[in-house]
Amino acid sequence: EIVLTQSPGTLSLSPGERATLSCRASQSISSRFLAWYHQKPGQAPRLLIYGASSRATGIPDRFSGSGSGTDFTLTISRLVPEDFAVYYCQQYGSSPYTFGQGTKLEIK
C-alpha cells in the first residue's frame, strides 16, 4: 500500500499570498496518477487536480499541480477567502487508492 505524507500539517497564510502544499509518496506513483481535493467544514471533498497537473472542471487557474514519481506539489497562486480549507492528495496508481492525511490551510 502506498503511503502519502502531506506537509505541512497546517499552513497559515493571508489572502493574496501564495500557498505551496507538498505530498510525498512512499513509492513511485505510476503515470502521475495523483489527485488533489479540498474540503470545507460540513461539505464533501471537491476534486481540484487529477493526473498530477490537470485542473478539474470549473477549477480556477490559480490552482496548479506539479510533480512526478514520489514528490508532488499543489500551488495556489493568490489565495482568496474561499480557499481556506483542508487539502488532501490521493494516489490512484496502485490499489488501494490511498489519501494523504491532509494539510489545513488557515487564515493568518
Partner 1 sequence: EVHLVQSGAEVKKPGESLKISCKGSGYSFTTSWIGWVRQMPGKGLEWMGIIYPADSDTRYSPSFQGQVTISADKSISTVYLQWSSLKASDSGMYYCARPTSGWSFEYWGQGTLVTVSS
Contact positions vs partner 1 (CB under 8 A): 1, 33, 35, 37, 39, 44-47, 50-51, 54, 56-57, 86, 88, 90, 92, 95-102
Residue type for position 79: L
Q: Residue 25 CB: number of other CB atoms within 10 A?
A: 22
Which CB, 44 or 81, lies closer to partner 1? 44
Q: Which is nearer to partner 1, 78 or 101 (CB)?
A: 101
Nearest CB to partner 1, comparing residues 75 and 94:
94
Bond into 45 cis (ω within 30): no
Task: Determine phi and psi for 32, rounding to 5 degrees.
Answer: 55, 40
